[in-house]
Amino acid sequence: MAYKLGLLGLGTVGTGTAQIILDSLGRHPLLQEIEIHRVGVRNLDKPRPVTFSADQLTTDLESIVTDPDIDIVVELLGGLEPARSLILTAISHGKHIVTANKAVISRYGNEIFDAANAKGVYVMLEAAVGGGIPVIQPLKESLGVNRIQSVMGIINGTTNYILTRMQTEGADFADVLADAQRLGYAEADPTADVDGLDAADKIAILASLAFAGRIKLEDVHCEGIRQISAADIAYAEKLGFRIKLLAIAKRQSSTENHAVDRLSIRVHPTLVPKTHPLASINGVYNAILIEGEPLGQVMFYGPGAGSGPTASAVVSDILTIAAILKTETEPIPHPLLSCTHQHYCAIAPMEELVTRFYTRFLTNDTPGVIGNLGTSFGNHGVSLESIVQIGMRDNQAEIVVVTHNVSEGNFLNALAEIRQLDAVISIPSVLRVL
């Protein structure tokens, strides 16, 4: 039996989602049971990278969310309306929901989840925060037994890209923003990103999962990065900090009543010590650092936006729902938790590994040694990236070589030849270089 999807929106993420589903080879076998039944778009005639039949494509989005054949509605329209109304109508028709829409969830999550609970359907939102980074499911499941102390992260790629360039180029905000817009890294209207609103939506969602309570978006204190200057970044650097737009949700003991914990929830530019794990997250990447008891700290890092990464999160949610639906109708172990394969993977032998090698030789300090080493490496197709003789150790010349990429088999053959050279006393270290 196939699980039928109604896809709302065929933009960047919708296209990425369709591409994963239509190209299932090498992915989880359950994907083969997922079918894109209908696709809602604004314009039927627009040329697209993925083609659908005239029966599948429609501009009538309402007809998708009420279609009795559809099991899961995948909302990838973005924006507040009609996304909110379509999600609510789909729920009232018993559809499960997968969405990437952080704005709708952070503002209307209360009515959406109330409706979903009443109807017994799921609303999944892995793609709403951190693009392709799995963080929603870990918060719900893998980290669920922890008492979470804090969730903090860099969850807006646009501002992190701008701050990273300001830092590396010593440039001012306005210049980098204009260039980022020209290159397509920042929207023509950058307000949601640079004023911290997008990060506020996302931290509200993360905090609500981490601390098991609803968050009113207006309670999230929000400052953006417009006021950050090249001078601030340079002074911060001198003092040992990087400036990052952090979204933070933290359990905070009440000063009046120590028995009551309250949440501090905020988005603002922050001086982060250079040694802190979030200080080295650069460019459009996102990272979320979660601290819990008894786990301690765990950090999730990866691409926070983009067609493929965000679609990966969308389709993982689709798969989760399909697996639940399957176990409801078939007496089988849960397809995502049970072992789905019996065959053994083909493993490449080590001699076929292609890598760089670091090697340290101890040799007699005689003329021609380095030349002989180079000749032996060359005899086996090993090209050298660097070769240095820094000094002597116990009256022996110490020569260090780093190769270019080479097959391990060729490298070992070269080493066997080198071991036979009269001048070579020993080869104390051979290490692979990443």
SS3 338: coil
For the bound state, the minimum distance from the C-beta of residue 342 to ligand HSE, rounded and expressed in Å, comes to: 40
Written as one letter, the residue type at 332 is: I
User: What residues line the site for ligand HSE (CB under 6 A)?
Assistant: 156-158, 193, 198, 304-305
Helix or strand (DSSP H, E) at 139? helix 136-140
For the bound state, the minimum distance from the C-beta of residue 427 to ligand HSE, rounded and expressed in Å, comes to: 49
For the bound state, the minimum distance from the C-beta of residue 50 to ligand HSE, rounded and expressed in Å, comes to: 21
d(CA 244, CA 130): 16
Q: Are 285 and 302 in contact (CB under 8 A)?
A: yes
d(CA 318, CA 3): 9
d(CA 100, CA 268): 23
Please say which residue, 228 or 305, places its beta carbon nearer to ligand HSE. 305
Q: What residues have CB less than 8 Å from 320, skipping those under 6 apart?
A: 122, 124, 137, 336
Q: Which of 202, 216, 244, 250 is catalytic?
A: 202
For the bound state, the minimum distance from the C-beta of residue 217 to ligand HSE, rounded and expressed in Å, comes to: 15
- Report the sign of the C-alpha dihedral through residues 32, 35, 39, 44, in that order: positive
Please say which residue, 158 or 403, places its beta carbon nearer to ligand HSE. 158
Please say which residue, 191 or 379, places its beta carbon nearer to ligand HSE. 191
> φ, ψ for residue 170 (rounded to 5)?
65, 25
Residue 202 annotated as catalytic = yes
SS (H, E, C) 98-138: EECCHHHHHHHHHHHHHHHHHHCCCEECHHHCCCCCCCHHH
For the bound state, the minimum distance from the C-beta of residue 267 to ligand HSE, rounded and expressed in Å, comes to: 12
Q: How many residues does the chain have?
A: 434
Q: Which two tokens stand for residue 125?
A: 């939102």
Please say which residue, 75 or 193, places its beta carbon nearer to ligand HSE. 193
For the bound state, the minimum distance from the C-beta of residue 226 to ligand HSE, rounded and expressed in Å, comes to: 15
Please say which residue, 89 or 159, places its beta carbon nearer to ligand HSE. 159
Written as one letter, the residue type at 112 is: I
Please say which residue, 6 or 132, places its beta carbon nearer to ligand HSE. 132
Q: What residues have CB less than 8 Å from 103, skipping those under 6 apart?
A: 78, 79, 80, 201
From the CB of residue 288, how many other CB atoms can be counted at a distance below 10 Å?
27
Of 105, 102, 101, 125, nearest to 114 by C-alpha is 105
- What amino acid positions are annotated as catalytic residues? 202
